[in-house]
Amino acid sequence: MNPYLSKILVDIAEKRLKKQHTHKTTISKKEIVPLVRRLQIELSHAVSEYIFIIIGVFSAGFGLKGFLLPNHFIDGGATGISLLLENITSLKLGVLLIIVNIPFIILASKTVSLKFALRSVGAIAMLAFVVHFVNYPIITEDKLLIAVFGGFFLGLGIGMSMRGRSVIDGTEVLAIYLSRKLSVTVGDVLLIINIVIFSFGAYVLSIETALYAILTYLAAAKTVDFVVDGVEEYVGLTIISQEHPAIKTMLTKKLGRACTIYAGKGGFGHDMVHKEKDIIYTVVTRLELPRLKTEIDKIDRKAFLIMGIVKDIKGGMIKRRPFKD
């Protein structure tokens, strides 16, 4: 790491430790090193997440201005609502993107987390800026290509933003909220929302435009699935680590997530065969997975993680309780 950046992290770590231990006059290197390592992990993960968001914003902007906007196409979700309103009002798309997403962001602050909502505000504001000020070339006038590739780049943008722990289309937040309340899948809720949008589009614009909008939505949805394996999917995570007590405490106390503990024994090498260890199993959503990985890295960077897709779950607290901030 850059020496200047390392010095900044050391200074931050010293200040934090002095606040925690006001009775101490000096802080030892042994206390500083673990905190600096955690700060390095937080910084590297944060940088990668913001890179995902930036790529997502410019990709979505390209899909909108390079394909959909010049040809008066619409999409599903909050973006589709904004595109539809642009066709029937005098407001600019950049302004509409912010206005339409405000209720969803407020909902996100209550159902997901405040940090997630703030990241989403930044991502949506950046998308509005890009749509308003960045000039993209108009790629094609072929309606089929517009629907398919416009949806592809828009879906890529949404998916990359989600990997950066934010959204640029707030209807996913509403879908997650309703799925917890009504015990239906997020996919079903999104389908109902978009049926309403496309029906209104057929009435206001034309049936042909609505049909192309459905194709755009399908292309975008499949791309999002490819990028993040679907917003409604859960991940079953098995954690094997020498630091299992600290990881268990982090899961239950810091993140507020339940876990199951298995008793296991090491099976590699002569010294490990009979050594007992706890094996931790928990289930998180795709939006929560990046943060959980960050927290595990802070405790044990050599932890062995086994991740498997869980299509849906029933019971427990995961659908009703997001991570703590």
**295 and 246 assigned to the same domain:** yes
108: in domain: yes
**61 and 79 assigned to the same domain:** yes
**224 and 247 assigned to the same domain:** no
The continuous run of DSSP H or E covering 262 comes out as strand 260-265
**95 and 161 assigned to the same domain:** yes
The HSE-up count of residue 317 (CA atoms within 13 Å, CB side) is: 11
Burial level of 105, CB count in 10 A (0-12/13-18/19+)?
buried
**Strand 304-310 to 260-265 pairing:** unpaired
- Describe the chain by its helix, strand, coil percentages, rounded to 5: 65, 10, 25
* Two structure tokens written together for 194: 């978009």
Average pLDDT, the chain: 83
| CA Rg value for the chain | 23
User: Residue 273 belongs to a domain with what CATH number?
Assistant: 3.30.70.120
Q: What percent of the chain has pLDDT over 90?
A: 20
Could you give the CA distance from residue 210 to residue 206 in angstroms, rounded to a whole number?
A: 6
**122 and 217 assigned to the same domain:** yes
CB atoms near residue 125 (< 10 Å): 16
**122 and 148 assigned to the same domain:** yes
The DSSP call for residue 205 is T
- Pseudo-torsion of CA 238, 243, 244, 247, nearest 10°? -80
Question: What is the mean pLDDT of the segment spanning 11-30?
Answer: 71
Residue 263 sits in which domain range? Answer: 234-310
The continuous run of DSSP H or E covering 51 comes out as helix 29-63
Whether the predicted pLDDT of 193 surpasses 60: yes
pLDDT digits (tens, 9 = 90+) for 122-159: 999 999 999 889 989 988 889 999 999 999 999 899 88
Domain total of the chain: 2
State residue 34's pLDDT score.
78
Whether the predicted pLDDT of 217 surpasses 60: yes
What totals of helices (H) and strands (E) does the chain contain, helices first?
A: 11, 4
Whether the predicted pLDDT of 314 surpasses 90: no
Query: What is the pTM assigned to this prediction?
Result: 0.71
State residue 316's pLDDT score.
64
State residue 229's pLDDT score.
60
pLDDT digits (tens, 9 = 90+) for 63-112: 999 998 888 888 888 888 888 888 888 888 888 999 999 999 998 888 88
301: in domain: yes
Q: Which of 43-57, 76-90, 247-261, 264-278 has the lowest mean pLDDT?
A: 264-278
Quickly state the pLDDT bin for 43 (edges 50, 70, 90): confident
Last residue of a domain, one of 228, 258, 274: 228
**242 and 117 assigned to the same domain:** no
Quickly state the pLDDT bin for 266 (edges 50, 70, 90): confident
213: in domain: yes
